[in-house]
Amino acid sequence: MARYNEDLGWLDGLSFQPRVLVYNKGDAIDAPALAALNPRATAISLPNVGRESQSYLHHIVANYDDLADVTIFVQGRINDLGANVFPDLADYLAPAVRDGFSASDLELFFSNMAFDIDIHGKLMRDPRYRAGIERGDIEAAGGDIREFAAAFLGPLPPVMVVSFSGCFAVSRDAVRGRPKAFYETLLKALSRHRNPEIGHYMERLWCAIFSGNRLLGKAVRLVPRRLWWQLVGKGSIAKTPAAALP
């Protein structure tokens, strides 16, 4: 779990009791209070750099030779993420075992289309973030997501699968499909600044890192569900989670 100062009381409501490692970049966590929520939970303090992606990469590098069968990566608060997280974290497990990567919602990303690159690829082109970059609150990447990914993954496919909000699960075999040095290089890149632009790139690249484009068919099958939700505006897009699809 990647935490800053979020309230972790929701851990008490989990349907199962996993081992929880809380990578904390905020105020100190009260150990007895955390143990009362989950006796298998441990808090680990990290410098406040690299957003949640840096915490996830730290875990992978530190535990590469001793990973769990499935690791669920989540934010410190999930009740505001809507369709981008399974309310019951147990729902991540079976699809992660089957597919290597599991997310509550899978979307299509068109890496060669200008609107995806402008909005999701390079924050300097988005006025919402330009001021933060100019103040130094955000470290500019110096290139778009295609250029960043090319250095680690090679050219991105024209249509690829992404998930959002940094909540997903991976199998041990999927992580070890890449050498430890791969993650060490990414960890170093994410550890230079409190809020690096490439953290937003990583959010969109986790699926590609762990499963390539194998889940493209599943993402395509989710398109009608998403369009219905956006056009009709009724119910929840999460009512038919990705894990429930064949």
Query: Parallel, antiparallel, or unpaired for β 107-110 and 41-45?
Result: unpaired
pLDDT at position 69 is 98
- Residue 196 and residue 189: Cα distance in Å, rounded? 9
Residue 235: predicted pLDDT:
43
Token pair, residue 6, equals 């979020």
pLDDT of the residue at 95: 96
pTM of the shown model? 0.88
**CA angle in degrees (0–180, nearest 5) for 74-209-197:** 70
The pLDDT, as a whole number, for residue 130 is 75
Burial of 218 (0-12, 13-18, 19+ CB in 10 A): middle
- At 111 the pLDDT is 84
- As averages over each run of 10 residues, the pLDDT of the chain (246 residues) reads 97 94 98 96 98 98 98 96 91 97 92 58 62 85 87 92 95 98 98 93 96 92 68 46 45
Residue 13: the pLDDT is 92
In the chain, what are the domain boundaries?
A: 2-244
pLDDT of residue 228: 54
